[in-house]
């Protein structure tokens, strides 16, 4: 469900360097926006669009707190330039809820207490959404492999795995 | 951390990309997935003035068997390599390695071409390419040329690629009956470079004799290392378990590790020996070898 209105925004913090106009669809809303070439996708989302659900964790491609879906595949947005997302579709944690109803993955994390401090949760959930879209009925081993690029420093992995299994069952998976 | 300033270009063709590289000799870098380059730029270890993004170029992302070759487009994402039915069913060496490059999220951006061209001895695919006798198709201002993987890696971050050249395709000999391979990697945690890793490719004849062998080592020297003596010790006969162990010992002797945060050099040599033996055994079994 794409919005018909195309918001025209200007770039946020003046970090300097060449700029260009990008067309990016974020959570089904199409944006036409001038960004500096060196703006990272995570800063584009947080500082320019104000979508602060995507977190900056390690800022070195290790932790996965900044995970978003780029054309439906989970990527670490601290290691992607906003210009690399030009013409593409981004989904963030803000885009999971639809019509006041939580996504099955969000329900799963709630039901199974899949978070403690919550810092890794947005990234963890975006990876989970992509996993279940590709493999609706993952084994525990497949879940653990899928989230191996997302770190939880509360080490609450047991409940995170249960949360994803909960979402899988709720969405019709059998295991 | 925000990368230093650069000019970004997203050309639509390889020739256009080469033209852009020629305009800024030495100051321009190819951006494929950016999973190695962007971290280096954020840390100011690399400060290219110009980035040429090749991800918008059509027909650079594919995995297909064609004639005597398996052809992999340079901009193929690592996860697309991993999802390829041909790789999953007939190229166990690549399947093993692809599943252990960085982490699953990085593999959605990182590319095969980036992994083989970066020239970091910790990259996983170069060893696979050396072990299987791959060639790299490269295009530059003077046209196309083919570089054997074995001649590509000159020093740490130094490859045979000229400043205005772009890797377009990786070509591996097509899998046939009697082929087997394995990649074993020891890493401290998911996403880390290898403490050491070993790539093995074997080809057996109908009687179980080894007709071709390739063994290459990741992250135990300034570049990826070909363990040629170890490989040739296996050719021409049906190897016994003792032969595999002797070859693994030769592989460890070819390693040139340095002591660092991943362990002392002697430890790493021991890791190479153990991984080489296990990888040889696995490759041998996958090739249909029976003792």
Which residue on chain B is closest to A13 by alpha carbon?
B2
A79:B2 CB<8 A: no
pLDDT at A16: 72
Nearest-angstrom CA–CA distance, B194 and B211 = 29
B55:A75 CB<8 A: no
Strand blocks (E) in A39-155: 67-70, 73-76, 89-91
Q: Any chain A CB within 8 A of the CB of B50? A: no
Which residue on chain B is closest to A20 by alpha carbon?
B8
SS3 percent helix, strand, coil of chain A, rounded to 5, is 35, 20, 45
Q: Any chain B CB within 8 A of the CB of A64? A: yes
**What does DSSP say about strands B158-159 and B210-218: parallel, antiparallel, or unpaired?**
unpaired
Residue A99: CB partners within 8 Å, gap ≥ 6? Answer: none
Collect all residues of chain A within an 8 Å Cβ-Cβ radius of residue B8: 18, 20, 37, 81, 83
Q: Any chain A CB within 8 A of the CB of B102? A: yes
Nearest-angstrom CA–CA distance, B96 and A69 = 25
pLDDT at A173: 64
The DSSP H or E segment spanning B243 is: helix B241-254
pLDDT at A174: 43
Contact B181, A139 (CB under 8 A): no
A104-111 and A157-170 are packed helices; what angle lies between their axes, rounded to 10 degrees? 130
**What does DSSP say about strands A67-70 and B158-159: parallel, antiparallel, or unpaired?**
unpaired
Asked whether the ipTM of the predicted complex exceeds the cut of 0.90, the reply is yes
Contact B211, B203 (CB under 8 A): yes
**Residue A3 pLDDT greater than 50, yes or no:** no
Question: What are the C-alpha distances in Å from A27 to residues A109, B71, B76?
Answer: 21, 36, 26
Quote the minimal CA–CA distance from B183 to chain A in Å.
18
Tell me which residue in A17, A61, A64 faces B39 most closely, judged by beta carbons: A61
Q: Any chain A CB within 8 A of the CB of B147? A: no
Tell me which residue in A43, A62, A75 faces B191 most closely, judged by beta carbons: A62
B8:A148 CB<8 A: no
Q: Pick from B104, B107, B185 the residue to mutate for testing the A interface (most A CBs within 10 Å).
A: B104
Chain segment A67-116, per-residue pLDDT in tens: 999 999 999 999 999 999 999 999 999 999 999 999 999 999 999 999 99
SS3 B206: coil
Cα–Cα nearest to B38, from B6, B10, B16: B6
Q: Which two tokens mark B147?
A: 């570089």
B70 DSSP β-pair partners:
B65, B172
Q: Any chain B CB within 8 A of the CB of A63? A: no
Collect all residues of chain B within an 8 Å Cβ-Cβ radius of residue A148: 103-104, 190-191
Tell me which residue in A15, A18, A75 faces B2 most closely, judged by beta carbons: A15
pLDDT at A15: 64
B140 DSSP β-pair partners:
B143
Q: Any chain A CB within 8 A of the CB of B24? A: no
* pLDDT confidence bin for A14, thresholds 50/70/90: low
**What is chain A's mean pLDDT, rounded?**
91
A104-111 and A121-134 are packed helices; what angle lies between their axes, rounded to 10 degrees? 120
Collect all residues of chain A within an 8 Å Cβ-Cβ radius of residue B2: 15, 38-40, 43
A149:B105 CB<8 A: yes
Q: Any chain B CB within 8 A of the CB of A14? A: no
Tell me which residue in B31, B53, B105 faces A75 most closely, judged by beta carbons: B105
pLDDT at B196: 98
Contact B99, A146 (CB under 8 A): no
Question: What are the C-alpha distances in Å from A94 to residues A121, A122, B70, B166?
Answer: 12, 9, 42, 39
Contact A22, A39 (CB under 8 A): no
pLDDT at B26: 85
**Residue A2 pLDDT greater than 60, yes or no:** no
Contact B224, B126 (CB under 8 A): yes
Chain segment A59-69, per-residue pLDDT in tens: 999 999 999 99
B114 DSSP β-pair partners:
none
Tell me which residue in B2, B103, B190 faces A40 most closely, judged by beta carbons: B2
What Rg, from alpha-carbon coordinates, does chain B have?
Answer: 19
Half-sphere exposure of A121 (CA within 13 A, CB side): 20
Contact B34, B109 (CB under 8 A): yes
B265-286 and B241-254 are packed helices; what angle lies between their axes, rounded to 10 degrees? 140
Residue B119 region by backbone torsions, left for phi larger than 0, else alpha for psi between -120 and 50, else beta = left
SS3 A55: coil
- As to burial, measured by CB atoms within 10 angstroms (0-12 exposed, 13-18 middle, 19+ buried), residue B199 is buried
Quote the minimal CA–CA distance from B99 to chain A in Å.
10
Nearest-angstrom CA–CA distance, B101 and B79 = 10
Contact B122, B218 (CB under 8 A): yes
SS3 B3: coil
Question: How many residue pairs from chains A and B have C-beta atoms closer than 8 A?
Answer: 86
Chain segment B84-96, per-residue pLDDT in tens: 999 999 999 999 9
B35:A79 CB<8 A: yes
Half-sphere exposure of A150 (CA within 13 A, CB side): 31
**What is chain B's mean pLDDT, rounded?**
97
Q: Any chain B CB within 8 A of the CB of A74? A: yes
Tell me which residue in A37, A40, A149 faces B103 most closely, judged by beta carbons: A149
Q: What are phi and psi of B262, to 5 degrees?
A: -90, 0
- As to burial, measured by CB atoms within 10 angstroms (0-12 exposed, 13-18 middle, 19+ buried), residue B143 is exposed
Residue ranges in chain B modelled with pLDDT below 70: none
Contact B183, B198 (CB under 8 A): yes
**Residue A13 pLDDT greater than 70, yes or no:** no
B72 DSSP β-pair partners:
B63, B170
Half-sphere exposure of A164 (CA within 13 A, CB side): 29
Query: Taking residues A124-148, what's their average pLDDT?
Result: 98
**Residue A145 pLDDT greater than 70, yes or no:** yes
B51:A37 CB<8 A: yes
């Amino acid at each position: 469900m794409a919005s018909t209105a195309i918001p025209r925004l200007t770039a946020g913090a003046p970090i300097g360097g060449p700029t260009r106009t990008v067309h990016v669809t974020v959570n089904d809303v199409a944006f036409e926006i001038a960004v500096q070439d060196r703006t990272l996708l995570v800063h584009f989302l947080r500082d320019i669009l104000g979508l602060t659900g995507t977190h900056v964790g390690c800022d070195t491609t290790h932790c996965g707190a900044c995970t978003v879906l780029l054309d439906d595949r989970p990527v670490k947005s601290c290691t992607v330039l906003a210009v690399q997302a030009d013409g593409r579709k981004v989904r963030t944690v803000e885009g999971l809820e639809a019509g006041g109803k939580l996504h099955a993955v969000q329900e799963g994390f709630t039901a199974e207490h899949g978070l403690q401090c919550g810092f890794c949760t947005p990234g963890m959930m975006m990876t989970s959404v992509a996993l279940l879209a590709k493999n609706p009925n993952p084994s525990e081993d497949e879940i653990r492999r899928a989230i191996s690029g997302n770190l939880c420093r509360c080490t609450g992995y047991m409940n995170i795995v249960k949360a994803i299994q909960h979402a899988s069952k709720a969405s019709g998976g059998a295991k | 951390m925000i990368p230093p300033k650069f000019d970004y270009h997203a050309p639509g063709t390889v020739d256009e990309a080469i033209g852009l590289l020629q305009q800024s000799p030495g100051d321009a870098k190819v951006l494929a997935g950016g999973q190695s380059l962007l971290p280096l730029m954020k840390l100011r270890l690399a400060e290219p003035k110009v980035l040429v993004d090749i991800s918008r170029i059509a027909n650079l992302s594919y995995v297909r068997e064609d004639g005597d070759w398996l052809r992999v487009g340079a901009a193929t994402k690592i996860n697309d390599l991993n999802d390829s039915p041909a790789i999953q069913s007939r190229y166990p060496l690549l399947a093993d390695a692809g599943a252990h490059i960085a982490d699953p999220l990085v593999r959605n951006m990182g590319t095969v071409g980036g992994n083989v061209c970066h020239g970091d001895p910790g990259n996983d695919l170069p060893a696979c390419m050396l072990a299987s006798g791959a060639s790299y198709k490269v295009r530059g201002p003077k046209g196309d040329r083919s570089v054997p993987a074995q001649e590509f890696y000159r020093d740490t971050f130094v490859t045979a690629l000229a400043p205005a050249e772009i890797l377009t395709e990786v070509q591996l000999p097509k899998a046939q009956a009697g082929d087997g391979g394995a990649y074993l990697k020891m890493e401290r945690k998911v996403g880390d470079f290898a403490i050491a890793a070993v790539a093995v490719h074997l080809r057996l004849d109908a009687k179980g004799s080894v007709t071709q062998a390739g063994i290459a080592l990741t992250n135990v020297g300034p570049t990826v290392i070909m363990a040629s003596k170890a490989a040739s010790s296996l050719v021409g006969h049906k190897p016994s378990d003792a032969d595999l162990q002797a070859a693994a010992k030769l592989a460890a002797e070819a390693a040139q590790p340095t002591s660092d945060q991943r362990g002392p050099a002697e430890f790493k040599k021991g890791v190479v020996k153990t991984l080489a033996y296990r990888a040889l055994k696995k490759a041998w079994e996958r090739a249909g070898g029976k003792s």
